[in-house]
Amino acid sequence: PLEMSIEYLERPREEIYANAYDLVINGVEVGGGSIRIHLPNVQRKIFELLGYTEEEMRERFGFLLRALEYGAPPHGGIAIGLDRLVAMMKGKEDIRDFIAFPKTKSFRSPVDDSPSRIDEEKLRELGIIILRE
């Protein structure tokens, strides 16, 4: 969000402005980008809205907040979806029609059949607990 719209973040019906942009050709989005958060007060507000306490912000993201306090310049970029651009030029609606895609539409990998179950020992080793109903 732009610094001037921070006050509106807690009012969902108000407009919130951002430095974001899309490249659209003939109604098809082929790229987009934005200026990233580079002001510490804006980043703090976002963390606050995500439910982080001041202590949690310091603990988990102190490095980032300190870096932003030094005065990070505005930075951003744009990513062009060359696959979408080529699809549009070839008259295709789905990029899967002409490029090798690593996942099926159901998000499975035909190469290694992932995602797959992880054994209980590995979960314990990684400190992951799965809650089952």
Per-residue pLDDT of the chain (133 residues; tens, 9 = 90+): 677 777 777 776 567 778 899 999 888 888 999 999 999 999 999 999 899 999 999 999 999 999 999 998 889 999 998 888 888 888 888 887 777 767 777 888 877 778 888 889 989 998 999 888 7
At residue 1, the pLDDT reads 67
Give the three-state DSSP class for 86: helix
In what side-by-side order are the strands of the sheet with 28-35? 20-25, 28-35, 76-80
Token code pair at residue 74? 């505005």
pTM listed for this prediction: 0.57
At residue 3, the pLDDT reads 72
